[in-house]
Structure 1
């Protein structure tokens, strides 16, 4: 459950979390949604807006803060820890940035949107969901055959609160440790593609990769 500033249970949030718990959502999903809604209600308390009167302007304030504020979970207290956003020269994996990730912001918007969609079915809350949803994305998420290709979708208009992102397929291009002039990528390594060393020569790129 989520408590308000007076340590009183917020019944509207408990009702929504109960629906998630009775469905196919895992306990970890319910927990993450509870923290997202607690953050949302904290913004509403600061702005002095009741949750039934929230609009897109309040959602824009939350998204703007998440895009610029540092994430306290990214703080490193151990000496010698890599700085946020730096790249490990040995593994090629970048460290997490100091702020909130795009997936975290989109997850927060999904939690708030689902909360208002739940209460909209019972005639509670604002008339319009404060989190804008693209009609194309709503149609794409509808039930369809798994054999059909996933149609492309666009972000919702005015304002574009959801963050577009693509998951990188390879690691960052880094100079080889033994030869500074040679650049390698994770896609060219045999273990990355599941190829044997004999077959990996045909899959290697013909031209060197461009440095970052």
Structure 2
């Protein structure tokens, strides 16, 4: 690892070392553990994650926070900076590196097992990073860290050091990720107008501005193409459920076989974050495809019973379908169509369909989507990008039709031309 002083950081040529690891354990008391290059436990992170776990934080959030802390710890290890001796200049340099540097190339685990093996070369058939897809309009992942990733990392590190400052851990004196200078020293919202919403006052000094993007849905014609590109009845059933229940991808995969209730046209899922069990209405064709999938699966001796998962892999050994496998299934359809839709776009598609149904109350849509605030659900009442483009093209088509239409006569047909000649003189034909 590099051994450079704080004033000698060469951020332009800095490469984040691939040392340390965030380990997933099967222990409910410690779902994730951050270890140093020697395999030892990183104590400050362990205490912080334990505090989050006690605050009823989901394990998925612990994993997200742990990855941000691992990235910061690798930066500290590279420059030999103790975690409790980092200052605002170190936090500034770290956020500046995340903004301008390329993301590290992760080596696949198959290549890690081979000493000295080089990472595979990217295919030349793939679009360049950061370019929009010609069909969907969505950009491919860039070589730089996204603004949302940098903002999330800054928030995690700022709250991590804030937690240890409150606990007086080690020799920590300052937070390397301070608040914005514009906040001042006065009381937050001291002169707030009660008729206007509160403005955020806890923004970090090095937190980037995250652009607000409208949710993207799959248009109906493109949805039919995606449906046709799927290979099995199981995949078609999953797609039909995702676009009719508006459940998140991983939520639908939590369903057990008794959770599917065709007679009531409902399916039960476990909600992300809260862990609540909720019944969601689904379309009739989703249960038709589900029945076709189950008949084929049971003929192959796929496990069935009250406590068995609803979704299984298609090949032996039979395993419950997880999110990475479902995403790989959907990406295979994307590769056939040349698109880059995501599983979360299916949730947006279902939300747009419900919110734009005049007979559907928006409060009901909020309950189905499990949104905490109605303002989040209101995002789907605004036109999507493809709807705006279609409306704009229709406008230009109407304008062009007006140009091609014959112009009306200057004289109304009911007037007598001889009378007009007496008043105004001769009128050319």
TM-score, normalised with respect to structure 2: 0.36
Unaligned runs of 5+ in 2: 1-32, 107-119, 190-194, 217-351, 359-386, 397-429
Q: Does 1:67 align with 2:112?
A: no
With CA pairs under 8 Å and 6+ residues apart, which has the higher RCO, 1 or 2?
Answer: 1
Q: Does 1:133 align with 2:165?
A: no
Q: Structure 1 residues 49 and 98, CA, compared in 2 at 3 Å: closer, same or farther?
A: same
Structure 2 counterpart of 1:121: 166
What secondary structure, in the 3-state scheme, does the structure 2 residue paired with 1:96 have? coil
Structure 2 counterpart of 1:149: 197
Name which of 30, 41, 44 aligns with 2:73. 41
Shift of 1:153: 4.8
- Could you say what the CA RMSD is over the residues aligned between the two structures, in angstroms? 3.6
Kindly indicate whether the alpha-carbon contact (under 8 Å) linking 2:151 and 2:210 is maintained by their aligned counterparts in 1.
Answer: no
Q: Which runs of 4+ in 1 moved over 4 A?
A: 152-156, 203-208
Aligned residues: 175
Name which of 99, 119, 122 aligns with 2:144. 99
Give CA deviations for 1:95-137 in whole Å, capped at 9, x if unaligned.
221111011111111121121111111112522211012385x
Unaligned runs of 5+ in 1: 141-146, 172-190
TM-score, normalised with respect to structure 1: 0.68
Q: Structure 1 residues 104 and 76, CA, compared in 2 at 3 Å: closer, same or farther?
A: farther
Structure 1 counterpart of 2:48: 16
- Mark the structure with the bigger radius of gyration: 2
Higher helix share: 2
Q: Structure 1 residues 148 and 22, CA, compared in 2 at 3 Å: closer, same or farther?
A: farther
Q: Structure 1 residues 14 and 80, CA, compared in 2 at 3 Å: closer, same or farther?
A: same
Q: Structure 1 residues 5 and 131, CA, compared in 2 at 3 Å: closer, same or farther?
A: same
Q: Structure 1 residues 168 and 41, CA, compared in 2 at 3 Å: closer, same or farther?
A: same
